[in-house]
Amino acid sequence: MSYWPLLGIAVVVAGFALRLNPALIVVAAGLVTGLIAGRTPLQVLELLGEAFTKQRYLTVFLLTLPVIGLLERHGLKEHAQAWIRRLRGATAGRLLIAYLGARQIASALGLTSLGGHPQTVRPLLAPMAEAAAEARHGDLPEEARERLKALSAATDNVGLFFGEDIFIAFGAVLLMQGFYAEHGIVLEPLHIALWGIPTAICAFLIHGWRLARLDRRLRREAGAIATRSGTGEPR
């Protein structure tokens, strides 16, 4: 057995350590692995194409990116920000809490593709959270903007991770059922999914509390900046 094809893993590690484009890293790792394994460049490309066409979710993902890019080019972010600014009671925390609840409910029903980082967080959720914060507190420092982006991504992750565990046809639920069945413990997927509800509720409350604190923190930071500006200190 030859271990040389495992050099593709080293390419992945080095690429992410250098913060290169993830898509290029993965493709480069696949090319390196295939060539070292004795495949010709055409055979490697054929294998990559086969994998993309067989996995439907990858095909949908590749089709989604150009659509999102086209919408962004025609002002998707700007329209989303303008709409959220017109809502008087909207704050960054309230917006993210509402998205968290919607994401959990949709994931619990098996609709996991309704959200996501490339199609929802980056083009819509994060810009809307920034716009809501700016409408309340004025211009935001770069640190606050990065925090909002991170919390927007985290909100999507929490909602998806703890919501999909309630869906009885979710792979992890079926995996747990199979594991217990191998050890003589008979459990129905419905029972496992029901036990995921308390965890999902706790996740919503804990992360919702963090998001509620976000509004107070932004208010304090805006007040501190205004105070420094009024006394002539640098912002």
DSSP state of 139: S
pLDDT of residue 52: 63
Domain assignment present for 72: no
Regarding whether 151 and 109 lie in a shared domain, the answer is: yes
Residues 50 and 102 reside in one and the same domain: no
Strands of the chain (E only): list them: none
Within-domain flag for 142: yes
If asked whether residues 144 and 213 sit together in one domain, one would say yes
Prediction pTM value: 0.67
Domain count within the chain: 2
Residue pair 161/204 in contact (Cβ under 8 Å)? The answer is no
The reported pLDDT for the residue numbered 72 is 67
Residues 17 and 93 in one domain: no
Report d(CA 83, CA 90) in Å as an integer. Answer: 10
Residue 68 falls inside a structural domain: no
Residues 31 and 99 in one domain: no
Annotate 61-84 with DSSP letters as a single string. HHHHHHHHHHHHHTTHHHHHHHHH
CA separation, residue 125 to residues 33, 47, 51, 91, 145 (Å): 37, 36, 31, 12, 13
Judge if 131 and 35 occupy the same domain. Answer: no
Residue 98 domain flag: yes
Name the residue range of residue 118's domain.
78-230
In a domain, 108, yes or no: yes
Whether 24 and 91 map to the same domain: the answer is no
Same-domain status, 47 and 127: no
Q: Are residues 139 and 222 in the same domain?
A: yes
pLDDT averaged per 10 residues, the chain (length 235):
83 88 81 88 81 56 62 71 76 92 92 83 88 84 88 94 85 79 83 88 95 87 71 46
